[in-house]
Amino acid sequence: MRLCDYLDKGASLGADRPCLTMDGATLTYGEVTALSWRVARALDRSGIRPGDKVAVLSANNSTAFACVFGISRAGAVWCPVNPRSEAAENRELLDLLDCTALIFQSAFAPLVERIRGDLPKLRTLVRLDDGEPGHEGRGDGSAAGAVPFRTWTAGLPAEPWEAAPADDIVMIAGTGGTTGRPKGVMLGARNIEAMSALTLMSYPIGPRPVYLALAPLTHAAGVLCFPVLTRGGEIVVMPRPDLGEFLALVERHRVTHTFLPPTLLYALLAHPALDSTDTASLQCLWYGAAPMAPARLEEAIGRLGPVFGQLFGQTEAPMMVAAMAPADHVHADGTVVRERLASAGRPTPLVTVGIMAGDGTLLPAGERGEIVVRGSLVMPGYYKNPEATAEASRHGWHHTGDVGYLDADGYLFIVDRLKDMIITGGFNVYSAEVEKALLDHPDVQDCAVIGLPDEKWGERVTAVVQLHQGRAAEPEALRAFAKERLGGVKAPKQIEVWADLPRSTVGKVLKPDIKQRLLA
């Protein structure tokens, strides 16, 4: 299935049904389909050919997401661009991916103006939202050479038109920009099909779901739309992340499905409107992208009910390496299965997961090693980077870079990222383990643990914590709390209290930024 096939599947269940809703305005399946035909024709008129790369630079926006299906119909490759990345990183990514067209929101015109001179392959620039009431954006939309979206699609019939794709690749997603040069993860039609099928297998998704997209559509929130579309669901798009508005939309639209990273879930639990909001419509609130503290997950289940569904994956093997459905979080009597809350669930059907030692040996249950994956979920490789592809696929398995183990019941437990392991006094300390201990403290809303250079220990375990509003826990008290649970080796030698932690657009705490600030 091409990406446009997911839209067509939903349209076959009712062209007049709501497809994309934002700021109170709804586009039906028929309207989104017609828009996708016009976008495909406009790309063709602009000289975009099958296999060409088309980037979309936008915050969450219905029209921007509808363009994805037009890109697919033109046989081109969708390249989502992170709107919160630095200009240099986005320039590097667009150049790496050989993008020939860029569709962007007017708010990002100044960024486009700064980088377009260094992108000679970029022939077509389209200002997405110029002239649309209420969507003028913060910029002036005046990037030189850019054509307004309405002008670009003017005169083109909203009638079926498609071009045959050049190959299986349907999207290329950037990754790795925070730790080095970005890499382009090539995802084929079969990867998205496997991800969608595993989503439909693993979680409760009935007819006509209502999916609320608060997290960026350029990341996990976006690819989760595809299985929703196959069931004729409505996607409610939030252009700006606001948890108060999130709760209001859940109640107003009777939202059944949504996705939040743990950091936003922690903030949601602290939101004053949570307990007074009617959330009874929720069937599955997905969480993932980072480890979640078991104590917070148990609190969330107690307040919102058994509606939480964990997913574990990465850009190279999207979303569904392992899953834990809402029903797996509780016993038959409704009590929480505490021993499972620290796990990432079981490997999904159609995916094989192993735990590998450094020499390529697969380890038995209970032993820690790198989590490796096989199956049709795994990418074919990195764009124009055979060296990185070979490194990630050593011994015939995809290497995730995560340390973990499988227990006797087949549940997968993620211990830490390999790169985040701290060696202190000759001992290996996994930062995620220390973070989970600190998150058990009632005053701690979020935290990050890193290793800093130390003459005595080699690296000293260092924690930066964000407290709940109105709380005032002292660093020494937090250190004693952690030491009681972890012992002296693993407990942080240094604890800093910050008002907030630097985060990516998907809610992940940016540890390199924290380390740089502390070293400075």
pLDDT on residue 139: 41
DSSP characters over 28-67: EHHHHHHHHHHHHHHHHHTT--TT-EEEEE-SS-HHHHHH
Q: With cut-offs at 50, 70 and 90, classify the pLDDT of residue 505.
A: low
pLDDT at 131 over 80: no
**Using one digit for the tens of pLDDT, what is the confidence trace for 401-442?**
999 999 999 999 988 877 888 888 777 788 888 998 999 999
User: Which of 20-34, 429-443, 474-488 reaches the highest mean pLDDT?
Assistant: 20-34
DSSP characters over 239-293: SS--HHHHHHHHHHHT--EEEE-HHHHHHHHT-TTTTTS--TT-SEEEE-SS---
Strand partners, 210: 234
The radius of gyration of the chain's CA atoms, rounded to the nearest angstrom, is: 23
Widest distance between CA atoms in the chain: 72
Interatomic CA distance for residues 93 and 184, integer angstroms: 8
Beta carbons of 66 and 58 less than 8 angstroms apart: no
Beta carbons of 463 and 447 less than 8 angstroms apart: yes
Residue 514 tokens, joined: 């924290």
Interatomic CA distance for residues 126 and 427, integer angstroms: 54
Averaged pLDDT, 318-332: 95
Interatomic CA distance for residues 25 and 30, integer angstroms: 15
> 300 or 137, which is more confident?
300
**Using one digit for the tens of pLDDT, what is the confidence trace for 141-160?**
467 689 999 999 999 999 99
pLDDT at 31 over 60: yes
pLDDT at 138 over 80: no
pLDDT on residue 75: 98
Q: What's the whole-number average pLDDT of the chain?
A: 91
Beta carbons of 373 and 400 less than 8 angstroms apart: yes
Give residue 396's region: left, alpha or beta (phi > 0; psi -120 to 50): left
User: Which of 66-70, 400-404, 451-455 reaches the highest mean pLDDT?
Assistant: 66-70
pLDDT at 177 over 50: no
Q: With cut-offs at 50, 70 and 90, classify the pLDDT of residue 220.
A: confident
Residue that the structure tokens 């743990």 belong to: 262
Averaged pLDDT, 282-288: 94
Strand partners, 324: 310
The domains of the chain, with CATH numbers, are 3-190 (3.40.50.980), 242-417 (3.40.50.12780), 425-519 (3.30.300.30)
Averaged pLDDT, 457-471: 92
pLDDT at 97 over 70: yes
**Using one digit for the tens of pLDDT, what is the confidence trace for 287-313?**
987 778 888 899 999 999 999 999 999
Percent of the chain with pLDDT over 70: 96
Averaged pLDDT, 212-225: 89
pLDDT at 268 over 60: yes
Residue 501 tokens, joined: 């932690």
What number of other Cβ atoms are within 10 A of residue 409's Cβ?
Answer: 10
> What value, to the nearest 5°, has the Cα angle with vertex 206 and ends 289 and 507?
15
Averaged pLDDT, 49-69: 96
Interatomic CA distance for residues 308 and 401, integer angstroms: 26
Calculate the dihedral angle through the C-alpha atoms of 255, 260, 263, 267, rounding to the nearest 10 degrees. -10
**Using one digit for the tens of pLDDT, what is the confidence trace for 330-386?**
999 989 999 899 899 999 999 999 999 999 999 999 999 999 999 999 999 999 999
- What is the value of pTM for the model shown? 0.84
Task: Give me the amino acid identity at 115.
Answer: I
Averaged pLDDT, 5-24: 97
Residue 381 tokens, joined: 């490789």
pLDDT at 322 over 90: yes
Q: With cut-offs at 50, 70 and 90, classify the pLDDT of residue 130.
A: low
Calculate the dihedral angle through the C-alpha atoms of 178, 53, 234, 313, rounding to the nearest 10 degrees. -40
Percent of the chain with pLDDT over 90: 75
